[in-house]
Amino acid sequence: MANIKSAKKRIKVISKKTANNRVRKTVLKNVEKKFLAAVETGDKALATERLTHAEKHIRKAASKNIIHNNAASRKVSRLTAKLNAMD
């Protein structure tokens, strides 16, 4: 356990940030699963709508440094490829 006041504060801040990042990553995973479920059903309109929603969340997570920018681009690219392969 930290003895210095600033170290104690850092522990609090880090725990809050960790909890927040965990929530945001869970949301990302859920959005991605919903998109993949729409692709599985074959409903292209629903899949397109969910892709835009997923892309918004992925880009926002990248801007908040929850995931790396390249990882975000890779995820969006792969999801878009799955949508385009539905034809």
Residue spans per domain, the chain:
44-87
The residue written with tokens 């969006």 in the block is 76
DSSP characters over 36-82: HHHHHHT-HHHHHHHHHHHHHHHHHHHHTTSS-HHHHHHHHHHHHHH
Amino acid occupying residue 22: R
pLDDT at residue 1, as a whole number: 82
Q: What stretches in the chain show pLDDT beneath 50?
A: none
* CB-CB contact of 34 with 57 (8 Å): no
Predicted pLDDT at 21:
95
Main-chain phi, psi angles of 56, to 5 degrees: -60, -45
